[in-house]
A and B are shown apart, each in its own frame.
Chain A
Amino acid sequence: MTAILEPHEAAPELAPSPADEPYAVLKHRRGTRWMHWINFPLLTIMMWSGLRIYWAEDIYAFGILDWEWFKFFPDWFNEKLGLERKLARGLAFHFSFAWLFAINGIAFGIYTLVTGEWRELVPDRRALKDSFGVLLHDLHLRKEAPAHRGRYNAAQRMTYSLIILLGGLALLTGFAIFKPTQLGFLTAMFGGYTMARRIHFAVTIIFMLFFVVHLLQVARAGGRNFLSMITGYEVVGGGADRG
């Protein structure tokens, strides 16, 4: 704890970088950038078509008997996003784009392993503790952020690894409920059809929460961080916000 609460050192005044010093350093490889941005519309389409499927039988609510105190999606939400009475189209989009989502996801997994990028993502033992520190920092409850050890801070490592695992889970539970007989081993692995379907839905809800959290995290990390996912390079020095 003492380490975390150490008074924040004033950032040394950064001198303009001399001509031979790097202005920007590589942050995201080309493959990572492409697959990240391809995933964005694909995941959106999967969630949107998935919710059209869910609309046909929106069973996951909490309540007792007829008294429902929590329903996942209110009617205005379904109406605005055109989710109502679109089951056939929802299924058609879902089962077509599932392949693209799967191909992109598997390619990303292989790429991350082959390039060794996974080392930047997998959280280590300190990550849990540090990510709490990052959270406090992000919520303006703590002044200084725990050090980045590598490219991502601890909270990013945790969220990104989790979301990649969840992507795999969406894929596997998806196939488990797509072909529960032909892929019966997969369905059994998830505790049967109904359970696999519940997990599939729960993953979707977590994705939706992730979208929000991810946008907030990126906003907090600043514009240079955001640009680096497009250009690949992050501007360093010269007063860059490295928070």
Chain B
Amino acid sequence: MAERRDLSRDQYRRRSRRSFLTGGAAVAAGFMGWRGVQGSPADRRIPGVLRDVHGINESIWSSLFREDHLAKEFAREDASILRINGRIGIDNEIDLDRWQVTVQGPDGEEWGTHTLADIRALPRHEMTIEHKCIEGWAQVTNWGGARFSDVIDLYADRIGDDITDVGMETPDRRYYVSMDMATMRHPQTLLAYDMLDQPLDDAHGAPLRLATPLKYGIKQLKRIGVIQFRREPGRDYWGDRGYDDYVGL
């Protein structure tokens, strides 16, 4: 592969002609490739090729995922009340006293309902973690709530290996997320009812919301109305609007 170290005038002429032809072809190929990416049929609002690469990224990082690998925790003093960024699905009034969460099986059949008292009766866990927004800000905050894995345990006899995903929706069904089961089993995935030891206020997702440092905020559904155990991923509000479905951190 050693290249000749020096050339005569004729050799140089020949070589530079060849280089320019190759270079021109490479530029044309690159340009066509770029147009190909941009023009590939859209898959939920982004070029299909890029959606496929999101899928490849997901399979790489989900296969490296370990349920016992924890996100960094911070000192309690560093925690502050979380900035409010979205009100989709929670901008209408509800009667918190009558609120219940419905748990469904894969075919939409009802498995059970729970009041806030039921969830509070599960062991309480607290975490001070860094909440990350996909738009580019991060903030340390403190959550208190039940581990989602304890809810999984309540339905252990009905949850087989075929259950791979969990869908969640607000009571008005206007905001919805799809979560992978591995993240839902993780000890830092909570059904949170407290922030900094105070019950959640409306804007933060009262009475019960999802909180996990393993996903961006777009996945941490506020005011949970329905939880569905599923055999395949479900609809996802921001995934359907061009974002990655996995957004695992």
Chain A interface (Cβ < 8 Å from any Cβ of B):
19, 22-26, 29-30, 37, 41, 53-54, 56-57, 59, 87-89, 91-93, 95-96, 99, 179-182, 184, 187-188, 193-194, 197, 227, 230-233, 235
Is A22 in contact with B8, judged by CB distance below 8 angstroms?
A: yes
Is B69 in contact with A181, judged by CB distance below 8 angstroms?
A: yes
Q: How far is the CA of A29 from the CA of B11 in the complex (A)?
A: 16
B30 close to A (CB within 8 Å): yes
A89: chain B residues at CB < 8 Å are: 46, 50, 242
- A72 smallest CB distance to B (angstroms): 13
Closest residue on chain A to residue B137 by CB atoms: A57
Q: How far is the CA of A53 from the CA of B130 in the complex (A)?
A: 20
Count of interface residues, chain B, beta-carbon cutoff 8 Å: 50
27 contacting pairs across A/B (C-beta < 8 A): A19-B8, A22-B6, A23-B8, A23-B11, A25-B6, A26-B3, A37-B23, A41-B34, A57-B133, A57-B136, A88-B45, A88-B241, A91-B244, A92-B50, A92-B51, A92-B53, A93-B50, A96-B50, A180-B71, A180-B72, A181-B71, A182-B61, A182-B69, A197-B138, A230-B16, A231-B12, A231-B15
Other 11 A-B pairs with CB < 8 A, given A232-B3, A233-B16: A19-B8, A23-B8, A88-B46, A88-B243, A89-B242, A95-B53, A180-B71, A231-B12, A231-B15, A231-B16, A235-B12
Known contacts A24-B12, A25-B5, A92-B54; is-contact A181 B72 (Cβ 8 Å): yes
Closest residue on chain B to residue A42 by CB atoms: B30
Q: How far is the CA of A96 from the CA of B241 in the complex (A)?
A: 18
Q: How far is the CA of A232 from the CA of B16 in the complex (A)?
A: 8
Q: How far is the CA of A41 from the CA of B28 in the complex (A)?
A: 13
Closest residue on chain B to residue A94 by CB atoms: B50
